[in-house]
Amino acid sequence: MTRSDPNSRHGWPFAGLVILIAMGLSRPLTAVPPGADPEGQAADPGLQFVQTELRDSFASGDPEPLAGTLPRRVKTYISCRPIDVGDGYYGTDQLRLFFRRMFRARQTVRFVISEPALTPRPDGRAVAVADWRYREGGGAPRESRIAFTLAREGPDWRVREIRDLK
């Protein structure tokens, strides 16, 4: 066999590589379409809404968007060091005060939902995990990984638990 022989076994891998490269170049080079949410899209629009409100609240340091995601009928369980309250169940009004105080003391450097709640688990709940990088006063940035457990309250999704993942 010679190199000019079209049936040469050495020519085929090269031709195959050229075809694969050409096929790859025919696709867009970006993994995420422009304008799409890089954190993923929830199957349920209500899940996406809550996660957007969480992200907006932490990014802006404004507790009001977060307040809209809290339950109206039951208390929320908190076990999260940066919130700076003891582990326990708290009402929505209490949480608004806690978050207002927390955002006054901490400036968000970065907040990203690294593991979005895309679909509910078999128990009907969904969990979104966020990585929060913040600064207290003029200090060095700190990081916290927070799990937000979401549950339905009527037609809406609400934050039922906030836990600091160690």
Which tens digit of pLDDT belongs to each residue from 26-44?
333 333 333 334 445 667 8
* Terminal-to-terminal C-alpha distance of the chain: 63
Looking at domain 45-165, its CATH class is: alpha beta
Go through 137-165 and write b for each residue having 16 or more CB atoms within 10 A of its CB, e for each that does not. Answer: eeeeeeebebbbbbbbeeeebbbbbbbbe
Q: Where are the beta strands (DSSP E) in the chain?
A: 76-79, 88-90, 106-115, 126-136, 142-153, 156-165
Alpha carbon distance 122, 165 (integer Å): 22
CA dihedral 56, 60, 64, 66 (to 10 degrees): 40
Alpha carbon distance 115, 32 (integer Å): 16
Stretch 80-97: mean pLDDT: 93
Domain boundaries, the chain: 45-165
Stretch 106-113: mean pLDDT: 95
Summarised one tens digit per residue, pLDDT across range 132-151 is 999 998 889 999 999 999 99
pLDDT band with cut points at 50, 70 and 90 for residue 50? very high
Stretch 57-65: mean pLDDT: 92
Q: pTM for the whole thing? A: 0.73
Lowest mean pLDDT among 36-40, 63-67, 88-92, 99-103: 36-40
Q: What is the pLDDT of residue 52?
A: 95
pLDDT at 112 over 80: yes
pLDDT at 109 over 80: yes
Q: What is the pLDDT of residue 22?
A: 40
pLDDT at 13 over 90: no
**Backbone dihedral angles phi then psi of residue 8, each to the nearest 5 degrees:** -65, 135
Q: What is the pLDDT of residue 14?
A: 45
pLDDT band with cut points at 50, 70 and 90 for residue 9? low
Alpha carbon distance 13, 6 (integer Å): 12
Q: If 0-12 CB within 10 Å is exposed, 13-18 middle and 19+ buried, where does residue 106 land?
A: buried
pLDDT at 81 over 70: yes
